Amino acid sequence: MTVPTASERPVRIQRATVAFLAAMVLLFSMAAPASAAAAPPGTIPDAALAKMLAGVGFSGDALVTALEIVWAESGANPRALNPSGARGIFQFMPNTLADDNCAYDPVCASQAAYRISKAGTDWHKWETFTTGVYARYRSRALAALSLGGVDANLIHVGLTSLDPQKVVYQAIAGLLYSMDRLVLTEIEKLWTPMVTGTDDLNGSTSLGSALVVDNSHLRNMWGISLAIATGSLLVMLFILSAVLWMLRSAIGVRHDTARNLVYFFATVILMAGSFFLVTQLIAVDNALVSAINGQVTIELRALPAYQNLGLKDPSTIQEVDQLLQAISLFLVGLFIGLELIFLFVIYFIRLILIWVLVVLAPFVLAVGILPGARGMVIYWSRLLIATVLLKFVNVLVFMTFVLMGATSAAGLFNELLVLTMLLFMILVPGLLFRAMAEPHLAIASAQETWSRTTNYAPLRAAGGQLLSRLRRS
């Protein structure tokens, strides 16, 4: 066995040390974050990208999401071109922007993305967001914010400092902002189909994406009602003719069967056409609403005063007066939201009432053949007209307030105008209902019908003569 010399031992120690150091360097290089690595050629460095997106207006969570979207869509390559035609860092499709070259300009594309995403609050037009691919880049986005000098502290509420007073203000502002989005943005989705949408008794009625009522069953229900009412009318006519014939045989009272048959067939024809008449009335209402909508855009977003109810950037609220202003706007917005909910309930009741009136139409018209039943028919007609034309009346109120200046410059006064407008949209149809279809009119009509039918003069006279003859015999 050969003992190594002194000159050989250090050589072995040096080789082992070098191997250990090389392994450590390789290990640390593999563990280094991707954001610290140099950006691939042609792409925007992470820190520069974070500064640029913050510069166009993105902040807080919206800034983090914007970074993630850029990396998921294009890898931050301004010249990226998808086989489908999408281009630029945000992969805009052709004709999406007014100038297609804007898609290749990082700043211009970022500004467009800020506008289209509604300040970073709505990314559903980007597939990488809807599929969740963007979330893979969260750690890289936070690292980029740190490298770019963008403060990511309390990123979820958009705070720029840890001053206790500002934390309180901005936390409340963030809460108001969230409630604002929940109350106004969600209710707004119901507005267009509810107020300006067309009604179709043969198709469907939409009160929002979550509530589409299929009216096809209404015609079947009306058909059943027509059959029952026609059968009842026929039985009633037979009984009446039989009674009159018996009276004629007993005491010689004249009766006109032919006239009764004419009344019967005329009433049946009117009953059979009741569904068509209601659909024509609804068509008139749809035409009137469309005519006004062609002159004035009947959308809440058409009112600048309504638009300013949204708190665009809660992180800017750092003083007491700013916070009070934000709370005032929120309260106005909350009342507007409550009014919109109440309007939704009114329109839902309107739809139910139209169904009820259509189904009852054959019965009401059948009863109209009775003496003194004209009051009930008039009440039904008034109620039907008031119910169908409610939408036109509301649109007319909306247009009146627009012409009064409710779309002028932003300010609390104009927001109060919007609040008042919605209140009138609730009250005016209510006054119309009271004027045209008071409930006591229905009660009075029913009482009059019963009284005049049971005290029908010819029947009363014939009955008296029959009793007299029976007594003499």
More confident residue, 365 or 320: 365
Is 134 domain-assigned?
Answer: yes
Range of the domain at 98: 46-147
pLDDT of the residue at 67:
92
CATH of the domain at 110: 1.10.530
pLDDT of the residue at 70:
93
Q: Do 342 and 458 fall within a single domain?
A: yes
User: How many domains are contained in the chain?
Assistant: 2
pLDDT of the residue at 71:
92
Using the predicted structure, report yes or no on whether residue 425 has a pLDDT greater than 50: yes
Is 160 domain-assigned?
Answer: no
Q: Do 123 and 254 fall within a single domain?
A: no
Is 260 domain-assigned?
Answer: yes
Taking residues 263-289, what's their average pLDDT?
84
Domain boundary among 147, 175, 200: 147
Q: Does the reported pTM lie above 0.85?
A: no
One-letter-per-residue 3-state SS of the chain: CCCCCCCCHHHHHHHHHHHHHHHHHHHHHHHCCHHHCCCCCCCCCHHHHHHHHHHCCCCHHHHHHHHHHHHHHHCCCCCCECCCCCECCCCECCCCCCCHHHHHCHHHHHHHHHHHCCCCCCCCCCHHHHCCHHHHHHHHHHHHHHHCCCCCCCCCCCCCCCCHHHHHHHHHHHHHHHHHHHHHHHHHHHHHHHHHCCCCCCCEEECCCCCEEECHHHHHHHHHHHHHHHHHHHHHHHHHHHHHHHHHHHHCCCCCHHHHHHHHHHHHHHHHCHHHHHHHHHHHHHHHHHHHHCCCCCCHHHCHHHHCCCCCCHHHCCCHHHHHHHHHHHHHHHHHHHHHHHHHHHHHHHHHHHHHHHHHHHHHHHHCCCCCCHHHHHHHHHHHHHHHCHHHHHHHHHHHHHHHHHCCCCCHHHHHHHHHHHHHHHHHHHHHHHHHCCHHHHHHHHHHHHHHHHCCHHHHHHHHHHHHHHHHC
Using the predicted structure, report yes or no on whether residue 241 has a pLDDT greater than 50: yes
Taking residues 217-227, what's their average pLDDT?
87
pLDDT tens per residue across span 300-333: 666 655 555 555 555 556 666 666 766 776 676 6
The confidence band for 28, taking pLDDT boundaries of 50, 70 and 90, is very low
Residue-averaged pLDDT of the chain: 70
Taking residues 333-342, what's their average pLDDT?
72
Using the predicted structure, report yes or no on whether residue 293 has a pLDDT greater than 80: no
